Structure 1
Amino acid sequence: MSAKIGVFAIGLEAYWPQFAGMKEQLMAHHQQLLGKFSPRDIVSVGMVDNPARACEAGRRFQAEDVDIVFCHLATYASSESLLPVVRALGNVTLVLLNVQSVPALDLESTQTIDDWLGKGCSCAGLPEMTAVLRRFEHPFAVISGYLDGDAVLDEKIAQWCAAADACRRLKSGNIGILGRPYPGMMDLNVDETQIFRTFGSYVKHLNWEDIAANIAHGFHQDQLEQASRQVKAVFRLPEDLDEQHLASMIEVYLATRKLVDEHQLIALSNHFEVQPSGYMHQIISASNPVFSMLTQQGIACPVEADIKTAIALTLMKSLAGSATLTELYSMDFNQDLCIVGHSGAGDPDIANEKSLLKMSPVFHGKPGSGFLTQFTPAIGPVTLASVTQGADGHYILVLAEGELVEGKTLQLGDTNALFRFRNGLRTFVDDWAACGPTHHCAMGRGHHAQAFHKLGQLLRIPVHEV
């Protein structure tokens, strides 16, 4: 789900009668800037140049329920044209775009005041705007740049929009929990009220029996055939795979997908403690590939019913396009690397190749048996993100960027990889642990720390980067 993004230009009404054509010139620059947001869902209100128009703009943004607002400082403007917008926004972050039309004024051709005001005067009013925003205690950020060919400007705008997308995703649905968090893992405990306050997501307590009921209801043949094609698109199937096992897994997938749709879930954390039998054996046996397919579709499905990591996975998937649950597995001091990984479901998008479905007689540390899904994460840059809490109960994001490297990994049926950290193994592990993250975290392809910092500002939670 894409964010709804508010955009407006700000200027000084007194200039228009003084300098013919200036407003039109500035609006042409603004239209060019709007092109940088395409094809996103934007709410554009044009030029705001007096308090009355600012009030109108604020009401429009409020009515449209925007997730973030960008203010283009088209020329000098007084802050009285900004504050009515800000007052209407509540806690929605405002990004001031201090963007000139040119990288630098051509001083030889800048012969009149309107030449200067119309092309290169965006920064004149910037301190005035930030001064009043601080007094208003309103969340804001500043991006400086120029219109044409400024890759830094384009990247920063894209990061803010991506962060707003991630926030909208969290608010768009519910986090389901099947079972309860793994007993004794006290870092996984959550306050559901605080989750809703911080992230806008409800936690819905669901039952494994809900999936069983969906299986019992049955499915049309075309649904079964379509799901079979989906399974084969994601996994490599062994030649000796029992067709009944495959058919059973497809039923579980359709039943779980139906549960997701019925409850408008963005995540489904899960844990099962009793030795499964009957219908529960069918469900638990198929859970790894089923939850992996849902994870690929943007429904985070962390094992051990870890709701905090469900949030981290949801944010990572939105920003990185991939997000698999992981933890620190083992330290290799000889190579200055750490093996990271986890059992259970993973995200197929973390890998460049399909995972081979295999049957296992045991799920380590948990009851049951069934399919394993060991993905091979792609070599290259990655980001880790953990959602954790401080002593006051407020949420914190802990981040790290690094690189997955070539080398031998564990072949135990778990997704795992070799992680090289920027500051070395010893320093990283000590510093990461000192931040108090949960023992699970989300891993996604690419470096996304800058977008996560912006996300932290939108959510108004601190971000610690290791």
Structure 2
Amino acid sequence: MKNKTVKVGAFNVGLQRYWMQFPGLEERLAGYHQRFVDRLKEFGVEVISPGLVDTVDKARQAAQLFKAEDVELIFCNVTTYVYSSVVLPVAQAHPVPLVLVGLQPSSAMDYPRATTFEQLAHDNCTSLPEIGYALTRAGLPYNVLFGRLDGDQRVWQEIEDWCWVARVLHDLRYANLGYMGHAYEGMLDMYFNPADFHNAFGMNVKMLELCDLKERVDAVSDQEVQQMLATIRDFFEFPPPGADPIAGPVTEDVLEYSARVAVGLERLVEDFDLSGMAYYYVGSDGSEYERLAASLIVGNSLLTGRGIPIAGEADMKNCIAMLIMDRLGAGGSFAELHPVDFDGDFVLVGHDGPGHIKISDQKPILRGLSLYHGKKGYGASVEFKVKTGPVTLLGLTQTQSGEFKFVVAEGESMPGPIPATGNTNSRVKFPVSVAEFVEKWAEAAPTHHFALGIGHRKAQLKKVAKALGMEMVVVGE
């Protein structure tokens, strides 16, 4: 996906008859709105603002502007009382997430010196219920934030979170996700209907052949291979083997072929303008395609670290979960539940193969696996753990009726050793016991894969789910 600017709309509202009654009030409120717009820009979005909307006609014009500019969400800055009829046309004409914001310019009025003018300049909450009623009657969803214009960390964090949501919505809507190969036979949670993703997220699923990749791998020059080898050697560590007999050193032949495939994979992503990809392929014993499909892990990890999630076992749902987490700044590494440590009350979280190597505070490790458990082939595999501190699990699943659902958990990545098996693994602890967590997580019916990201992201993910009209379940609170 070619980079596109993320745009949000922002307009302020007020009662038109105030301007003649209280000279200077309109200008005062315009100043407050400009400060709001300037602060939004600090969050890395382009702000489309028609300025003051105080009539139905201006509301319709604002809606057309937002539609023409293709904004992802709209902030309605309630700078004083306004009729709800002035807000409704914007929500009706351009149905993107609407956030009603009331930001009082000071903590309190100076009561002995208070005037009606000052009261109106502080009337940021008065019409919020009325607007909410009108939107509810119209069947239109909305969100409400209220606080102070200055010095209110809580409300401004909420506003910033909505700007992150705008990035997610934008990149989902413009996403081209490749699907190469076929589902892992028997993993019923990996099966999917591509049309479901088009309908729910607005994205495009591109059907790719392994031949598309092979053509590009075959065209890679020796010079390009050497350049990629230098990148790999600089980025990864190559420690001596541990206790696992199938996890040895990476041979030069395996490393060189992995580098060649990594270059071809980059070219595939560029040629098809991919935002991410889900893949799985078996191949006949000893065939070229078997080797090719087994040699994607290094290239996958490098691409995922650049914000282009590559999901193995053809897990398109988790590819989207990884994309969402990445666009929230959390990373999003391909993961599943591994063995539990009952003594330490934590579970190992990771997967064989690739991971999001940018969310670790240590150099990732490359090991040579003589076999991939449960799969065919052999080759290089990535081993690392995410940095210690808060983490979030995001599973994207489907209900019995086929609706998408978020399954979310927040925990802590703990320090300590992980197995030297060429797999990603992190020691994750939750607020509840590890046994209770596993029970409740499974009862929420996620797929067995999820995206592991850094930071506690529940609040942001709740907004994303609401913006997409999807259910979200939180496990382990």
Instruction: Answer yes or no: same fold by TM over 0.5.
Output: yes
Q: In the aligned structure 2, how far is the partner of 1:192 from the partner of 1:170?
A: 14
Asked if 1:96 corresponds to 2:88, the answer is no
**Contact 1:164/1:458 (CA < 8 Å) preserved in 2?**
no
CA drift of 1:217 comes to 2.6
Q: Which residue of 1 aligns with 2:25?
A: 22
* C-alpha contact 2:335 2:450 (8 A) present in aligned 1: yes
- The CA RMSD measured in Å over matched residues stands at 1.8
> Which amino acid is 2:104 matched to?
Q
1:63 to 59, 63, 68: 68
Q: How has the CA–CA distance of structure 1 residues 151 and 290 changed in structure 2, closer, same or farther, with 3 Å as cutoff?
A: same
Task: Report the Cα offset of residue 400 of structure 1.
Answer: 0.3
2:245 corresponds in structure 1 to none
Amino acid at match of 1:19: F
> Distance in 2 between the 1:423 and 1:94 partners?
35
How far did 1:178 drift?
Answer: 1.4
Q: Secondary structure in 1 aligned to 2:112?
A: coil
Cα contact 1:344–1:372 (8 A) shared by 2: yes
- C-alpha displacement at 1:339, in angstroms? 1.6
Residue of structure 1 in register with 2:246 after alignment: none
Q: Aligned residue for 2:244?
A: none
Letter matched to residue 252 of structure 1: V
| Contact 2:290–2:376 (CA under 8 A) maintained in structure 1 | no
Note the alpha carbon deviations across 1:216-239, whole angstroms, 9 max, x for none.
Answer: 233484x55553443244322569
1:189-208 alignment runs, 5 A limit: 189-208=191-210
Counterpart amino acid of 1:162? W
How many angstroms apart in 2 are the aligned matches of 1:210 and 1:194?
Answer: 25
2:357 is equivalent to residue 348 of structure 1? yes
Partner amino acid, structure 1, of 2:16: E
Give the equivalent residue in structure 2 for 1:177: 179
Aligned residue type for 2:143: A
Give the SS at the match of 1:124: coil
1:26-67 CA-partner distances (Å, limit 9, x unpaired) = 010011111221141111111101111101000001111111
Cα distance in structure 2, aligned partners of 1:181 and 1:192: 12
Distance 1:449 1:24 in 2: 39
Q: Which residue of 2 aligns with 1:76?
A: 81
Partner of 2:52: 47
Q: 426, 444, 456: which one pairs with 1:435?
A: 444
Q: How many residues align?
A: 462
Moved over 6 A (4+): none
| Equivalent-residue separation in structure 2 for 1:242 and 1:409 (angstroms) | 23
Aligned residue in 2 for 1:271: 280
CA distance in 2, matches of 1:138, 1:6: 17
1:304 and 2:304 correspond: no
Q: Distance in 1 between matches of 2:233 and 2:25?
A: 60
Distance 2:83 2:238 in 1: 65
AA paired with 1:11?
A: G
State how 1:271-420 maps to structure 2 within 5 Å.
271-275=280-284, 277=286, 279-280=288-289, 282-420=291-429
Aligned-residue offset at 1:417:
1.6
- Decide which moves more: 338-347 or 282-291: 282-291
Equivalent residue runs for 1:186-225 within 5 Å: 186-219=188-221, 221=223, 223-224=224-225
Residues 305 and 357 in structure 2, CA contact (< 8 A), matched pair in contact too: yes
Query: In the aligned structure 2, how far is the partner of 1:312 from the partner of 1:206?
Result: 21
Could you report, residue by residue, the CA deviation over 1:133-171 in whole angstroms, capped at 9, with x for unpaired residues? 101111210011111111111110111111121121112
> Is 1:252–1:282's contact at 8 Å kept on the other side of the alignment?
no
Contact 1:324 1:443 in 2 (8 A): yes
Is the alpha carbon distance of 1:33 and 1:225 closer, same or farther for their aligned partners in structure 2, counting shifts above 3 Å? Answer: farther
Task: Tell me the equivalent position of 1:153.
Answer: 155
2:113 paired residue number: 109
Deviation of 1:17 after TM superposition, in Å, equals: 0.9
Please tell me the residue identity of whatever aligns with 1:248.
Answer: Y
Instruction: Return the offset for 1:378.
Output: 1.3
Q: Which amino acid aligns with 1:54?
A: A
Distance across 2 between alignment mates of 1:229 and 1:139:
52
- Report the 3-state secondary structure (helix = DSSP H, G, I; strand = E; otherwise coil) of the residue aligned with 1:416: strand
With the length of structure 2 as denominator, give the TM-score of the two structures. 0.93
Q: 2: CA distance between counterparts of 1:434 and 1:250? A: 41
Question: Which secondary structure does the structure 2 equivalent of 1:177 belong to?
Answer: strand
**Partner SS state of residue 108, structure 1:** helix
Q: For residues 444 and 190 of structure 1, what CA distance do their matches in structure 2 show?
A: 24
Q: Is the 8 A contact 2:235 2:363 kept in 1?
A: yes
Measure the CA separation in 1 of the matches of 2:189 and 2:471.
18
Q: Give how far 1:452 is off.
A: 0.1
Residue 231 of structure 2 is matched in structure 1 by: 230
SS at match of 1:265: coil
Q: Distance in 1 between matches of 2:304 and 2:35?
A: 38
User: Following the alignment from structure 1 to structure 2, what is the Cα–Cα distance between the partners of residues 337 and 282?
Assistant: 36
Asked if the contact 1:93–1:138 (Cα under 8 Å) also holds between the matched residues in 2, the reply is no
Gaps of 5+ in 2: 241-248
Deviation per CA, 1:413-457, whole angstroms, max 9, x where unpaired? 111121111122122111111111001111001100000000001
Which region of structure 1 is more displaced relative to structure 2, 16-25 or 1-10?
1-10
Alpha-carbon spacing, 1:166–1:410, altered in 2? closer, same or farther (3 Å): same
Percent of matched pairs sharing the same residue? 32
CA–CA distance in structure 1, aligned partners of residues 314 and 219 of structure 2: 26
1:215 is displaced (CA, Å) by: 2.2
DSSP-derived class of the 2:126 partner: helix
Q: CA offsets per residue over residues 344-391 of structure 1, 9 Å max, x none? A: 111101211212222121111110011011112211110000000111
| Partner of residue 36, structure 1 | 39
Mean Cα deviation higher: 424-433 or 21-30: 424-433
Contact 1:102 1:148 in 2 (8 A): yes
* Distance verdict in 2 for CA 1:18–1:229, change over 3 Å: farther
- Which residue identity lines up with residue 420 of structure 1 in the other structure? K
Give the direction of change, closer, same or farther, for the CA distance of 1:228–1:413 in structure 2 (3 Å limit): closer
Distance 1:242 1:340, change over 3 A: closer
Distance 2:14 2:319 in 1: 43
